[in-house]
Amino acid sequence: MSQGWTRRLHRIEDGLLAGLIAALLLLSVAQIALRLLFDSGLDWAELVSRSGVLWLALIGALGATRSRKHIAIDALPRLLPPLARRLSWIVAQLGAAAVCAAMAWFGIGMIGFELEAPVPFVAGVPSWVPMLIVPAGFGLMAVRFVICAVLPPPPPELPGEGDA
């Protein structure tokens, strides 16, 4: 039952990532075409693109944590015996979770500042709306790291195995 929900959530996450890439690509192509053909453009396109890149980065990072493809220092676990490797895995995952939780907390604070003095982002959308990805993305990554801490660590790769 829980794997079905997990699979659906992963599909939603992948669909959101693909849709966001497509939307940013379309927006960029439209902006280029408007500038070349009509010597004009969309006033809001640059702001939306910058915000979209932030969303893309954090949703992509969330996907990387899901598949354990995020940046990690894995030289030490290769040298450790199994129990020490397991303990270092737990410490590393909980440390990453703590950093992500702190970033989510600071993101909530950032949104709080924006709520105190709201400015429009584009066409009636307040400036805090695009910032929602910061606490949401980092909060979800923190949860994923906590979940990974209770799972067994992946087997250590030998030099050259991860190269492709």
- pLDDT tens for 6-38 read 788 888 889 999 999 999 999 999 999 999 998
In a domain, 163, yes or no: no
In a domain, 160, yes or no: no
State residue 63 phi and psi, 5-degree precision: -65, -35
Contact between 141 and 61 (Cβ < 8 Å): yes
In a domain, 155, yes or no: no
Which tokens belong to 89? 């895995």
Contact between 122 and 44 (Cβ < 8 Å): yes
pTM equals: 0.83
Which tokens belong to 45? 């396109």
Instruction: Note the pLDDT of residue 13.
Output: 87
Q: Is the pLDDT of residue 118 over 90?
A: no
Segments forming the whole domain that contains residue 122: 2-150
Q: Say which residues have a Cβ less than 8 Å from residue 52's Cβ, sequence separation at least 6.
A: 20, 23, 24, 27
Number of domains in the chain: 1
Which tokens belong to 47? 């702001």
Average pLDDT over residues 81-99: 91
In a domain, 10, yes or no: yes
Instruction: Note the pLDDT of residue 52.
Output: 94
For residue 121, what is the enclosing H or E element?
Answer: strand 120-122
